[in-house]
Structure 1
């Protein structure tokens, strides 16, 4: 495995195992992942929350089982925020989507496997262009996996946000008529999913950012003031781990634009 870029705020989240366990409910308010019973799996998540994403991916793969979920999520976060080469980023998302799908097929009742498949494939689709992804039939797979995750775990806030983003992206690219008839994307559904995701996890920094982006995609420039308020709210939340710290940086960049 090539050396991944380092988390740019090393040492900011110097979490030990006890601290991760104490913070677990807040750290996983978005994905409702159960507290691991395995020390090896917990260690993979500890590395993830510290921002040691490559080490987390390697530790999760070694641990196997639920540890693979930590490995997949670490891969997705690294690809989203720290990988500068577009080809490598797309390869990471595609690999993560394949691994998550394989896990979901082995463990069909695992909500997070379906959610990570939808998330990784959705990010890959954004990278190759939403229009191209829809033409390849990827949109239906993204939607199906995220809907499955929500059916299995109705409190999965991240899956609500990711599915809302799907609706917004599709409508933004192909319009409401084709989006609804061909891909099942609906404006009202997207807005409700954003709202439910944030009801479930009000401190979701990435949820606030995605909702802001989605408002503009779904309702146009008339909602820019509301979007700006959401970005500002996102930047005001104190991040609890490295992934949230990267989300704050994203929100700050959106505000600057």
Structure 2
């Protein structure tokens, strides 16, 4: 496997030992509602993930195996692809790999919330890469929507699934309009409620603020742009607790600069 691009920020060390990781777990996983793993190998894979060692976390998760190991491998590859992979072609390939692994996991663990979630996340990002309109024509929209709704049904506290489902509603309406959006099950009011619920579930989440701001821009336009800009500013001011959160904060900063 080719070497992945390194996590680019070294001004803060996001390495946790296992005791510190367990203590910080509820905060670090308020977004994905992933339970603390019992397997030591999976715990070590998460140490690598939170430190920004995404390739090592991916490999360690695959080696550990099981639903918990596959989950950390999927998250590591999906987050890396979304934020750090420079090649658009390879990024799409990575999202496809995550979606395929998650779907295979569901064949044996249909009640695993994050198998549904990472399949949806990967397919959603893949859809953005090939164009949302094309993805809808391929039937990916309904697959993403169903997977996210299932995630929330299985794990009602899953803030990230609320964010992603809100983004689904906003993106579809932004790309095809409210009328055609209805045929895909997209609704503006539902999307905004999902973003708001995500913020209640994980109020300190920079990515929840960013995606809500994006949603407001797509669904409400100029009339709520000041609110969106404030959300970007709030996200940029967040203090990151791990490498993934740092990538979110840096994304917010870049949005403010544009």
Query: Which TM bucket (shorter chain)?
Result: over 0.9
* Number of the residue aligned with 2:154: 152
* Number of the residue aligned with 2:125: 123
* TM-score computed with the length of structure 1 as normaliser: 0.98
Q: Does residue 105 of the first structure (1) align with residue 107 of the second (2)?
A: yes
- Deviation digits for residues 160-199 of structure 1, max 9, x if unmatched? 000000000000000011101x100000000000000110
* Number of the residue aligned with 2:209: 208
Distance (Å, rounded) in 1 between the aligned partners of 2:156 and 2:107: 20
Gaps of 5+ in 2: none
User: Which deviates more, 182-191 or 96-105?
Assistant: 96-105
* TM-score computed with the length of structure 2 as normaliser: 0.98
The Cα of 1:14 is off from its aligned counterpart by 2.3
- Deviation digits for residues 172-228 of structure 1, max 9, x if unmatched? 000011101x10000000000000011000011111100000001011122110000
* Secondary structure of 1:4's aligned partner: coil
Contact 2:15–2:47 (8 Å) recurs in 1: no
Distance (Å, rounded) in 2 between the aligned partners of 1:136 and 1:55: 33
* Number of the residue aligned with 1:4: 4
Structural mapping, 1:58-207, within 5 Å:
58-65=59-66, 66-180=68-182, 182-207=183-208
The Cα of 1:15 is off from its aligned counterpart by 1.7
The Cα of 1:3 is off from its aligned counterpart by 0.5
* Number of the residue aligned with 1:35: 36
Distance (Å, rounded) in 1 between the aligned partners of 2:102 and 2:252: 27
Distance (Å, rounded) in 1 between the aligned partners of 2:21 and 2:107: 29
Q: Does residue 229 of the first structure (1) align with residue 230 of the second (2)?
A: yes
The Cα of 1:100 is off from its aligned counterpart by 1.0
The Cα of 1:148 is off from its aligned counterpart by 0.4
* Secondary structure of 2:72's aligned partner: helix
The Cα of 1:237 is off from its aligned counterpart by 1.2
The Cα of 1:95 is off from its aligned counterpart by 0.7
The Cα of 1:67 is off from its aligned counterpart by 0.9
Distance (Å, rounded) in 2 between the aligned partners of 1:112 and 1:20: 20
* Number of the residue aligned with 1:46: 47
TM superposition outliers: structure 1 runs of 4+ over 6 Å: none
The Cα of 1:21 is off from its aligned counterpart by 0.9
CA RMSD of aligned residues (A): 0.8
